[in-house]
Structure 1
Amino acid sequence: MQSQLILNYALQFVVLGFVFLLIFDFINGLFERIRCAYIASSINILPYAPKSKAVFKQIDDPWFLKAEGLPSFTQTNSIVEFQLLLPPAKELPVLPQIEAKIRAITWNQLKKITSDYKLSVKGKRPLVEQRLLEFCQSRDEVQLQTVLQYISKLQAV
């Protein structure tokens, strides 16, 4: 409660300080106008009278002017070549990465992957690995990336 009270007083101080500044600036501006009016009334200023009347030349409407003196742009047949800072990226095949990760995981993790992807495989580890690789070969790159991330997540656990 103490900090809330201090914050309340601080906000009131800021708002009232701003209001006082506005009031003092207004009063100062009034005194400045009064002072300027007093100085202007005490000085005798002669009115300025020009000796000759200014002559202005009539100019043409810019919408109807012809474009003269503008630079002409000619087309050149030069081709600007630029060099990339980095070589083009080579896409790494995902299937060999998946194959290496499948060979590196444990038998329980391999069984979990096959059950999660609803692959019905009974037998020893080489048969299960082979079925999982056949499953991966029938998928596109996006699905393979998902499988790779899932295997990596299982290895991290």
Structure 2
Amino acid sequence: DDVFVDLTNLDELKLESNQVSVLTREIFKGLGNLRLLNMKSNSISYIGDTVFAELWSLQELDLSSNHIEKLSARAFDGLNNLRRLNLEQNRLARLERGIFTGVPAILRLNLNSNLLQTITYNNFLPLMDNLVNSTVELLLKGGILL
């Protein structure tokens, strides 16, 4: 933990194709100026509450091609500036109510190629202002019932 604490001016962090399996909030301490975080193709299976809360400047988060089966309802809390979230090719079977409350500025959300069976209106309620007032991309390919 505290691996990046002294890298306060870091703008991009690419940890693609490593064997990262666990994420904790402490890992991201000191990275308040980070704009891009690429965690693609790791071994992450769960994202807990407020893991990314230290990353208040983050605009793009790529968690695609992991093994994510569960996202805590507060997993993305604090990411008020996030514009792009990629959760493609994971093992998500359901989305917790309020999961997107912490990302009010999202403009692109990729949920392609997961195991999602049902998505409710409540899942996207926090994003309704953006869906109505902006050009928002919502990618949901892969056997989902709406």
TM-score if structure 1 supplies the norm length? 0.15
Q: Which structure is richer in relative contact order (CA contacts within 8 A, separation 6 or more)?
A: 1
Quick check: which has more Rg, 1 or 2?
1
Greater per-residue strand proportion: 2
